[in-house]
């Protein structure tokens, strides 16, 4: 299992976190997604076939690019 916390500056509220959680949870291999609107953080736990690059790409596609 891998885990990473992404800093996503465009997060402005809990609705942003909810839509990010919905999309990232849909990636095969993702086991958990947690978000903190105050800190603008998204923490993801995953295993194969998900990858860090895939998650980062999905955030970018959603217009919530990670730093
Ligand atoms: Cu929002």
Residue 12's pLDDT is what?
97
What is the Å distance from ligand 1's center to 54 Cα?
22
Is 23 among the domain residues? yes
- CATH code: domain of residue 40: 3.30.70.100
Number of folded domains that form the chain: 1
Is 66 among the domain residues? no
Q: Collect residues with CB below 5 Å from ion ligand 1.
A: 12-13, 15-16
Residue 58's pLDDT is what?
98
Residue 65's pLDDT is what?
98
> Strand 30-36 and strand 41-46: pairing?
antiparallel
pTM for the structure as a whole: 0.95
Average pLDDT, the chain: 98
What is the Å distance from ligand 1's center to 31 Cα?
23
Residue 2 pLDDT grade (very low, low, confident, very high; cuts 50, 70, 90) = very high
- Tell me the residue range of the domain where 39 lies: 2-61
What is the Å distance from ligand 1's center to 50 Cα?
25
Is 41 among the domain residues? yes
Is 67 among the domain residues? no
């Amino acid at each position: 299992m891998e885990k990473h916390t992404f800093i996503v500056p465009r997060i402005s509220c809990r609705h942003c976190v909810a839509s990010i959680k919905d999309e990232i949870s849909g990636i095969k291999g993702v086991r958990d997604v947690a978000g903190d609107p105050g800190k603008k953080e998204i923490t993801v736990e995953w295993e194969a076939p998900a990858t860090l690059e895939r998650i980062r790409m999905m955030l970018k596609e959603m217009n919530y690019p990670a730093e």
